[in-house]
Amino acid sequence: MNLTADTSALAPVAERLEADLADLSGYADPDAPGWSREVFSEPYRAARDWVRDRMRDAGLETTVDAAGNVIGRLAGSHGGPPLVTGSHTDTVHGGGRFDGIVGVLGAIEAARRIRETGTRLAHDLLVVDFLGEEANRFGISCMGSRSLSGILTPAHLARTDTTGHTLGQAMRDFGADPERALGLGWDARSMHAFVELHVEQGPLLEQRGVPVGVVTAIAGIERLLATFRGRADHAGTMPMAERHDALVAAAEAVLTIERVGCGAPVHGVTTTGRIESSPGVYNIVPEEARIWAETRSVDHTWLSGVRRTLADELAAQAARRGVETAVEWLNDQDPVLASRSVQDVIAAGADSLGIPWAPVPSGAGHDAAHMAGLGPMGMIFVPSHGGRSHCPEEWTGLGHIVTGTHLLAATLTHLDALPDVAA
């Protein structure tokens, strides 16, 4: 791919990026571990006010849409379908300082460098801090990008947390307009292209000693709630062979879920995140148990196969113990391929800047997966130390963030120069 623009001048101002990362990390829940900034929390609200100010300082015209997405716009010379970049600033409970944050602050710095170098883009550039990317207490992830891609539904808004509060109420309390958010969907192909900078959240780049990943696909996510119904009995008198122990059946299922998750051809994982049983006392054989699990893969066929395998095996294993099962599935998202064209532009941009790169799948979900419905999508990964993420130990060195931000600015400039970007 022959790129025209010389993008070496778009290198970020490392000290400014470092200061932004430190400032944003300061908006965290003092009573929670790590750098917790969960969606709808007060630290999250304050952080987004700060992000909006940073966008303004960068010369972006800022708005907050009905879904609560904070959007900064750098006007292009001839408008048309915008170039879009961005990520999220909410964290998981006990999260770190880089997941999502690198993509928002990197995008703001890229926009600053494009302006400061007098680089005139043809297309408008939109920098987005998407509302609530992380799976929240309502069980819904990527609320802001779902709204923009037209897949936020009334059923999503009606989902309740353990207190009976609905997602719609939480969005309203936060200042969003959930009913209008349902109709916010942009038209398909309404973007020139979308590129998200993100930390890898896995070990591949660091293990290979490569500073940049060009994402090939984003994993699909299927979640399940399995309920096991056995029989309560006296724990001291009922012989072992005559029990219908729901918790043992659930524990066996957890090991089956782990076994089934091994051996995927490209990328596939399974995780049981939670187990509960009742009545939950020493001297009664557990009558009921529940497990919450998920399976992910970039491979649609493998993912569908795992659903069938788990449904069959969990029921058969429990039945051998005289325990009934019910498995509810929730599709969080399907696997999404990154645009070949955008991957090629990222790779060519890296080559022109002398940045080594490698193609990598994303086992993590991202707003990019939903934005792919609106135009050609690509992602740039930078390494996560030890592959750790969704924990206070999450770490990505400033050098990697500077490299990724430079490549983001270059990629946006190269994409802008293309009359059209193939999906």
Q: Which residues bind ligand HGY (CB under 6 A)?
A: 133-135, 141, 364-365
Is the CB of 103 or the CB of 373 nearer to ligand HGY?
Answer: 103
Is the CB of 20 or the CB of 133 nearer to ligand HGY?
Answer: 133
Work out what residue 129 binds among ligand HGY, Mn ion, none; the CB cut-off runs from 5 to 8 Å by kind. Answer: none
Q: How far is the CB of 29 from ligand HGY (least distance, A)?
A: 18
Q: How far is the CB of 176 from ligand HGY (least distance, A)?
A: 19
Q: How far is the CB of 404 from ligand HGY (least distance, A)?
A: 17
Work out what residue 293 binds among ligand HGY, Mn ion, none; the CB cut-off runs from 5 to 8 Å by kind. Answer: none
Work out what residue 141 binds among ligand HGY, Mn ion, none; the CB cut-off runs from 5 to 8 Å by kind. Answer: ligand HGY
Q: How far is the CB of 294 from ligand HGY (least distance, A)?
A: 9
Is the CB of 29 or the CB of 134 nearer to ligand HGY?
Answer: 134
DSSP letters, 344-408, are: HHHHHHHHHTT--EEEEEE-S--HHHHHGGGS-EEEEEE--GGG--SSTT----HHHHHHHHHHH
Neighbouring CB atoms inside 10 A of 405's CB total: 28
Which class for 229: exposed (0-12), middle (13-18), buried (19 or more C-beta within 10 A)?
middle
139: DSSP letter: S
Q: Which residues bind Mn ion (CB under 5 A)?
A: 99-100
Cβ–Cβ under 8 Å, residues 82 and 380: no
Cβ–Cβ under 8 Å, residues 199 and 403: no
Is the CB of 83 or the CB of 92 nearer to ligand HGY?
Answer: 92
Q: How far is the CB of 390 from Mn ion (least distance, A)?
A: 6
Work out what residue 365 binds among Mn ion, ligand HGY, none; the CB cut-off runs from 5 to 8 Å by kind. Answer: ligand HGY
Is the CB of 112 or the CB of 366 nearer to ligand HGY?
Answer: 366
Is the CB of 99 or the CB of 129 nearer to Mn ion?
Answer: 99
Helices (H), 195-337: 204-208, 246-260, 300-319
Work out what residue 86 binds among ligand HGY, Mn ion, none; the CB cut-off runs from 5 to 8 Å by kind. Answer: none
Candidates 34, 24, 25; CA nearest to 391 is 34
Spatial separation of the C-alpha atoms in residues 263 and 285, rounded to whole Å: 35
The encoded tokens of residue 90 equal: 């909410």
Q: How far is the CB of 38 from ligand HGY (least distance, A)?
A: 12
Work out what residue 34 binds among Mn ion, ligand HGY, none; the CB cut-off runs from 5 to 8 Å by kind. Answer: none
Who's near 234: CB < 8 A, 6+ residues apart? 283, 284, 285
* Beta pairing class for 377-382 and 193-199: parallel
Work out what residue 224 binds among Mn ion, ligand HGY, none; the CB cut-off runs from 5 to 8 Å by kind. Answer: none
Enclosing H/E stretch for 64: strand 61-64
Neighbouring CB atoms inside 10 A of 68's CB total: 24
Is the CB of 213 or the CB of 286 nearer to ligand HGY?
Answer: 213
Q: How far is the CB of 292 from ligand HGY (least distance, A)?
A: 13
- Cβ-proximal residue to Mn ion, closest one: 100
